[in-house]
Structure 1
Amino acid sequence: MRQASGKKRYIPALSFRWLTPLYDPLLKWVMREETFKQRLIQHANIRPGMKVLDLGCGTGTLTIMLKKIHPNAQVTGVDGDPDVLKIALDKSRGSDIQWDEGLASSLPYPDSTFDRVVTSLVIHHLITDDKRLAFKEIHRVLKPDGELYVLDFGAPHSSTTRFMTTYMRRLEETADNFDGLIP
């Protein structure tokens, strides 16, 4: 875990920095990442000219999908990890995507900047207080008629998913999500 901006804790994808290069292949293997991210994009109802922020963009998979599906939208990806942002930049060469380093709890944008904020598999990385700060920041950077779309872990509904979340539940950051408590 490293300190971002000298103050806030930052948990890299998969919890350990050395696993970062494995993030994309692992998500493709373990989850149907493109399928559920495609659904998130469909629900977001993005129109030409809209400004869209992918909060906690990681390696840029969702951000790049957004831009491909909505080429006339202004798409920005923000993440607190410069290593994953480098991967995102490499994956998106030639596309018109803005990549920024910043934390969900203190976004580097003026008030009322974005029409849509999307976030995928990020909120469970935040401790409860940082979740609250992140949602305040999202509200701040969204335009008055802007909308937020969250895709993340929630309360398990079967014995299989309860078993699978046993390890993850031990992490302070994920407990609220698995209890169905996102502030």
Structure 2
Amino acid sequence: MNLHLRDIANKHEWHNVRWFRRMAPVYDIVEIFARHIREKVVIDSGLSHGARVLDMACGTGAQSVAFAKYGFSVVGVDLSPDMLARAKMKVRNGYDVTFICRDASSVPYADSHFDLSTVSFGLHDMPEQIGLAVLREMRRVTKPDGKIVIVDYDVPRNALSAFLGHAVAKTWETVYYDHFLKAGLQHYLVEAELSAEEKENFVFANVQKVLCTNRKRT
């Protein structure tokens, strides 16, 4: 990581840790809207039992635990100790899930280690440069032809849905949310050399789930 990106990452970490220290006690309120999306991500993954899954920016662990519940071997990565403390409380006996507190743009795993990697409601909480670094790291550690799944905000075509979704999200989202929404997930995919093969919308089209195949260069 170059010095400029490292400086951005350090500032992001400072902001992230403090922001989510406040948000951790109430963050799981969003699961009212997200729970069925978490299950859909797992069911649509098509993975075999015991497959390795990486959950970037895992927060309070809802997506990580959803995968572990179905018998997958899961690693969840997040910058916030407070969010991870709540994630660990969700782990049940028999769940193969490990949580790591660190910058998701650099994880301690070999190339092509995971069968699937995912980031759910995470990219909009990062500066663009860090979000792109996370996507590239997901490509690195995911097997060739493995799956990369991204869940995040979208802008509905319906003006009322867009207005209401934006108004609600703004009550709890970070300073990076507006830029992410303006740039759009497709911009991030192009920059990270990923292509959406499947897309599905939820919550009146305010949320999107995108599936990509990791087409690694030979």
Kept in 2: contact 1:13–1:58 (CA 8 A): no
CA contact (8 A) 1:13 1:20 kept: no
Change (3 A) 1:49 1:117: same
Q: TM-score, normalised by structure 2?
A: 0.70
Instruction: Identify if the C-alpha distance between structure 1 residues 49 and 91 changes in structure 2 by more than 3 Å, giving closer, same or farther.
Output: closer
Asked if the contact 2:121/2:151 (under 8 Å) is kept, the reply is yes
User: 2: distance between equivalents of 1:144 and 1:156?
Assistant: 33
Per-residue deviation, residues 60-102 of structure 1 (Å, max 9, x unmatched): 1111111112x1x211111111111111112214232111112
2:179 corresponds in structure 1 to: 175
State the match for 2:137 in structure 1: 137
For structure 1, the 5+ residue unaligned runs are none
Shift of 1:49: 2.8
Check if 1:43 corresponds to 2:47: no
In the superposition, relative to structure 1, how do residues 83 and 114 fare at CA in structure 2: closer, same or farther (>3 Å)?
Answer: same
Instruction: Specify the code of the residue in structure 2 equivalent to 1:149.
Output: V
RMSD of aligned Cα (Å): 2.7
Looking at structure 1, the residues matched to 99 and 109 of structure 2 have their Cα atoms a distance apart, in angstroms, of 12
Q: How does 1:26-175 map to 2 (within 5 A)?
A: 26-29=29-32, 31=33, 33-69=34-70, 71=71, 73-94=72-93, 95-164=95-164, 165=166, 168=170, 171-175=175-179
**What percentage of aligned pairs have identical amino acids?**
28
Deviation at 1:15, TM superposition (A): 4.2
Kindly tell me the number of residue pairs found equivalent between the two proteins: 175
Q: Tell me, what secondary structure is at the counterpart of 2:153?
A: coil
Which whole-Å CA distance do the structure 2 matches of 1:129 and 1:141 have between them?
19
User: By how many angstroms is 1:137 displaced?
Assistant: 0.7
